[in-house]
Structure 1
Amino acid sequence: MKPAIARTNYLLLRDDGTVHYWFSKFLTDQFANPHTRELSGQSCRLLYRFLASAHIELALRATEGSCLSYDEAKALIALCWRPLPEIEAMGDRAMTRLTSATAGKAPAKLPNAVKPNTVHKRLHHIAQALEFYREVFIDPRIPFSAAREELRSAYGITCDQLRRAIRGTKQSHHLAIKSLPRDKYLAIIEAVFTRPDHLFQAATGRRCRTVLRDRAMTLLACEGLRPGALGNVALRDFQPHRNLLAITDNRAKRSGRVTANTPVLKLGDSVQVNSGSETIITLWPFTVRAIQEYIDTERDAVLRKRLTNRSDGFLFLSDQGEPLKHRSSITLMFNKLGDRLAELGLLDVTNDPYFMEQKRYHFYSYVLRHSAASFFLAEKCREIAVQHGFTMPSDFNDVPDRVKDLMKLRFGWTINSTMPEHYAKRALTDQANVTLMEFNQHLLDAVQARKQYRETGDGL
C-alpha cells in the first residue's frame, strides 16, 4: 500500500491503485496532525498485510459475531515487532510461516526488531482502526441490538488484547527522563549565548552562516520548546518588549503542503484531543536578546537578498529566505551542536548515577526540554519555599499544585497530564541523591581530617 494526498483527504492505495476506503476514511476523519496520521497509516498498512495473508474478511466475521481469535491477535502482535518494509516485501507464504505457532524466537529478541514504544503505538492505532470500522461501517448495518452488542463485545476483547500486549513504554517512567544536571544545563546555556562562534561551525571549522539563528533556536529549546515548535514560530508571535513568546499553530501560514516532515506544533491542529500546546511563555532576557539580534542581522540580510519575501511570516528561515521545511534540518543542527559540546567537555559525566556507564551525556533537542522542565520545577518549588518559609518537598505529592499547573501552562501539557508528576519524581530523586553524595563527601572529609590529625599528633 502507498499513501497519497487528495486535497484534505489522506488516502491509502492498494497495489492496483484503488483506494482502501475504510483506512482512508479512518485516517482522514480521526487525525489532523500529519505526523500522527503518517504513523497510524503505517499501522493500517501492517494490518492490511496481516489480514490479506491470513485471508481474513472482517465483514464476513461480523456476520458470525466475531473479530480476531486469540491466536490471530497474538500473531498480529508478534508481527508488529517487524519493520514495515520487511513485512510489505514478504509474500503470503512467508507471512503465514512468520505468524504461525512455530515461528521461532520471540520477536522482541530479533536483531532488527523495532522499539517497544513503536510496537505500543502500532497496536493502539490498529485497535483504534478496528473500533472505527465496527462503529462506522458495521454497526449501522446490523438491525438487531443483541447482534450489535455481541459484535461490540468481540471487538472489545480483541482490541483490549492488542492494547495490553505492551504495557507502556520507557518514556512513562520518571527515571527515563534524561535531563541534564543543573550545572551542566546552565553551563550549556552560558556557552551557547556567550560563545556561539565556538559551537555553531561549518564542516570546515569556520563560523556557520546561520550561527545567530541556531543560537536563538537552541536557547528557545532551553526554554522548553519542542523541536517541531521551533520551526513553527511566526515573527508576530515574538513580543520582545514584554519578553513573551506565543506558542500557536501556524501551519495554515505555510504556502507549501504540510507533510509528516514539516515542523509543526504538537497537537496544534488536533480535533480529537484537548491540546495544551498553545500557550504564552515568558522568555529569559538573554533569549529575547539573542532572537532580536538574529532578526536584526541574519534574518534581515537573508530577506534583502531576494526580490520577494518568501518567509510566510515565520521567524526562523533557511538560507533561501523560506520557512524551515523539514524537521531533519532542526535535528541535524542539534546533532552537530551535541558533537561540539562533547568536544568542549560540556557533556562529560561526573557523578550522575543515571549515566554511570557513560562517559558523556547523550545530547538531542529533547534533552534541553527535559532539563528545562526539571529546572523550572526545582526553581518554582524553591521560590515558594522561600516566600512562605516552607522546606523543599521531600515527596512528589508535596509539590504544590500551583507549581504543577504552571508547568502544564509553560510546557504545553493538557490539564489532565501527569507529566509534572514524572518530573517531580525525577527532580526529587536527583535531590535525594545529591544530598546523599554530599553526606558521603562529608564522611570522607571527616576521615581525612582525622587521619591528618593523627599524623600531626604522632609527629609532635
Structure 2
Amino acid sequence: MLLHDDGAIHYPFSKYLTDELDNPHTREKASQALRIFYRLLASHNIELAVRALEGRCLTHNECKSLAGLCYRKLKEIELLSNRKVVLLTSAMADIEPDKLPKALQPNTARKSLIAIADYLKFYWEVFLDPHIRSENLRIVLKEAYEQTQDRLKKAIHGTKQNHHLTIRSLPSRRFLELIRKVVLEPESLFLTAGGKTSATLYRDRAMVLVACEGVRPGAIGNIARADFREKYLAIQDHRRRREGRTTTGAPVLKLGDTTRINSASETMLTLYPFTTDAINDYIRFERDPILAKHQRNRSLGFLFLNEKGEPIKHRSSITAMFKRLGERLAQQGLLDIGNDPYFPDQSQYEFYGYVLRHSAASFFLEMKGTEDGVLDSMKTRFGWTMESSQPQRYANRALSDQAGVDLMQFYEQLIADVAAAREME
C-alpha cells in the first residue's frame, strides 16, 4: 500500500501494486518510483483525474522534470518541501540532475520512469477508460496518455550494463535439491495454514515443477489443457478464453506492447519426465475428480483450476502458493545461504516464482555450455526475442559459478527414487 502525505491510502497506486506486480523485488522498486511520481504531482498541484476532463496527461516539461527527479535518491526527495521540488525541477536549476555528485545511474533512473509509465497505462485502462462517456474525449485522452508513456520511456537512455551478478537464482545443487523434495516429498511442502495436507497438493506440485522448467509464474495460470501433450507443453496466449473482459490481475502470457502481434513468449517446451508425471498425477487425482463433481464444465479449457473447478482468476493465488512453499522450504533449511559469495549479506535465499525461472535458466546453461547455438536455443525455450541479451547474462553467471553437477546422474537417481517410493505405496 502507498499513502498520501496525510496518511490516507492512495488507492490507485495501491491497486496497481496489488493487481499488477507479483515479484516482491519489482513491487518494491515500483513503489519507490510511484513515491517519486507522487512528489512531483503534489509539488506541482497536478491532479490526473482533473486533467482527464481536459484531455491531458503530463506536459513535455513535466516529463522532463520527472526524469530529473528520478536521478535523485528517494530519501532525499522525501525530505524536500514542495517549493524545493519545484525549484530543483525547473529550468532555473543550478545543475543538470545527471551531473549531480550523488546522482543515480541512468539505468536506475530509467527503470523508475518505465515503472511510472506502466502505472499510467494501468491508470488509463482501469480508472479512466471505463468511465469516459465521450468518444471524442476518449480518443484525445488515450493519445495523450500514450504520448506521455512514450516520453517517459525515452527520456533517459540507460547504460548498457546489466550485470549477471544481479540474477536472483538458486545455486544448481540447491535447485536440484528443491526439485527432488517437490517430486518425492510433496506432503511435507504443500500444507494448509493448519498444517494439514493441501487439497490442491497435486496441482501445486505440478505448477512448481512447471516453474522449474523456466515458465513465468503468470503464464502458468494461462496454460490450457490442450497445451499439454504427453511430454510437450505449448506456451501461448489464452486470454480470449476467459469469460468477459480479462481483469488486470488475471494470469496471462507476457506479451510485448501490443497483443496484436506474436510474442517471443509463445514457445514449445520438452518437459522433464518428472514434470510430465506430476501433471498427469494432477489431472488424474485432482482435476478430473473436481470437474466430475459439477454438471457443467467450468474450466474454460484451462489446465490448472481452483477448488471450484474454475480457472485461476488472479495471479495473487499463484503468488500465495509460492509464498507458502517458500516458508516451508525455509523451515526445512533448504533456503539457507551458507557461504554463497553472491549473497554475502543474507542468511536465506529469497524465494518466489521467478526465482525458479532464473534458476532454470542458469542451470540450463551450466548443463549445456555457453556456445552461441546454446544461447540461441535458450531464447526459444525461455521466451525471449532473438535480439535479447538475457542469455549472455546467464552465460556470464554460469561461467563464474560452475557447480559441477552431473545432470544424468541426478536424473537417474531421481527416477530410481520415484520408482522405489511407488513400490512402497
TM-score scaled by structure 2? Answer: 0.66
Please tell me whether the aligned partners of residues 237 and 245 of structure 1 are also in contact (alpha carbons under 8 angstroms). yes
Given the alignment of the two structures, is residue 379 of structure 1 paired with residue 353 of structure 2, yes or no? no
The alignment's C-alpha RMSD in Å is 4.2
Distance 1:51 1:310, change over 3 A: farther
1:280 is paired with a residue whose SS is strand
Given the alignment of the two structures, is residue 100 of structure 1 paired with residue 87 of structure 2, yes or no? yes
1:200 is paired with a residue whose SS is coil
Quote the Cα distance in structure 1 between the aligned partners of 2:248 and 2:390.
25
- Give 1:73's aligned residue: 64
Please tell me whether the aligned partners of residues 214 and 361 of structure 2 are also in contact (alpha carbons under 8 angstroms). yes
Quote the Cα distance in structure 2 between the aligned partners of 1:203 and 1:285.
31
Given the alignment of the two structures, is residue 405 of structure 1 paired with residue 397 of structure 2, yes or no? no
Out of 270, 286, 289, which is 1:301 matched to? 289
Given the alignment of the two structures, is residue 235 of structure 1 paired with residue 225 of structure 2, yes or no? yes
1:301 is paired with a residue whose SS is helix
1:293 is paired with a residue whose SS is helix
- Residue 417 of structure 1 deviates from its aligned partner by 0.6
- Residue 424 of structure 1 deviates from its aligned partner by 0.4
Q: Which runs of 5+ in 2 are unaligned?
A: 1-18, 22-29, 52-58, 91-96, 103-107, 122-138, 141-147, 405-425
- Give 1:133's aligned residue: none
Please tell me whether the aligned partners of residues 188 and 346 of structure 1 are also in contact (alpha carbons under 8 angstroms). yes
2:61 is paired with a residue whose SS is coil
Match runs of 1:180-259 below 5 Å = 180-240=170-230, 243-259=231-247
Match runs of 1:106-185 below 5 Å = 119-122=112-115, 162-164=155-157, 167=159, 172-185=162-175
Quote the Cα distance in structure 2 between the aligned partners of 1:219 and 1:209.
18
Distance 1:249 1:67, change over 3 A: closer
- Residue 101 of structure 1 deviates from its aligned partner by 3.0
Please tell me whether the aligned partners of residues 228 and 327 of structure 1 are also in contact (alpha carbons under 8 angstroms). yes
Tell me the alpha carbon deviations over residues 241-269 of structure 1, each in whole angstroms, 9 at most, x when there is no partner.
xx100001011111142122110000078
- Residue 350 of structure 1 deviates from its aligned partner by 2.4
- Residue 52 of structure 1 deviates from its aligned partner by 7.0
Quote the Cα distance in structure 2 between the aligned partners of 1:411 and 1:353.
26
Distance 1:219 1:369, change over 3 A: same
- Residue 317 of structure 1 deviates from its aligned partner by 0.3
Please tell me whether the aligned partners of residues 66 and 89 of structure 2 are also in contact (alpha carbons under 8 angstroms). no
Distance 1:49 1:281, change over 3 A: same
- Residue 49 of structure 1 deviates from its aligned partner by 4.5
Quote the Cα distance in structure 1 between the aligned partners of 2:154 and 2:293.
59
- Give 1:331's aligned residue: 319
Distance 1:124 1:274, change over 3 A: farther
Quote the Cα distance in structure 2 between the aligned partners of 1:425 and 1:80.
29
1:99 is paired with a residue whose SS is helix
- Residue 127 of structure 1 deviates from its aligned partner by 11
Quote the Cα distance in structure 2 between the aligned partners of 1:347 and 1:239.
33
TM-score scaled by structure 1? Answer: 0.61
Quote the Cα distance in structure 1 between the aligned partners of 2:281 and 2:275.
10
- Give 1:5's aligned residue: none
Out of 29, 36, 45, which is 1:53 matched to? 45
Higher RCO (Cα < 8 Å, 6 or more apart): 2
- Residue 122 of structure 1 deviates from its aligned partner by 3.9
Q: Which runs of 5+ in 1 are unaligned?
A: 1-33, 59-65, 88-93, 110-114, 129-135, 138-154, 382-398, 436-460
Distance 1:96 1:161, change over 3 A: farther
- Give 2:279's aligned residue: 291
Quote the Cα distance in structure 2 between the aligned partners of 1:204 and 1:161.
50
Given the alignment of the two structures, is residue 419 of structure 1 paired with residue 407 of structure 2, yes or no? no
1:355 is paired with a residue whose SS is coil
Amino-acid identity (%): 45
- Residue 305 of structure 1 deviates from its aligned partner by 1.7
Please tell me whether the aligned partners of residues 268 and 381 of structure 2 are also in contact (alpha carbons under 8 angstroms). yes
2:237 is paired with a residue whose SS is coil
Quote the Cα distance in structure 1 between the aligned partners of 2:287 and 2:83.
57
Distance 1:80 1:96, change over 3 A: farther
Distance 1:271 1:255, change over 3 A: closer
Quote the Cα distance in structure 1 between the aligned partners of 2:199 and 2:338.
34
Quote the Cα distance in structure 2 between the aligned partners of 1:239 and 1:51.
57
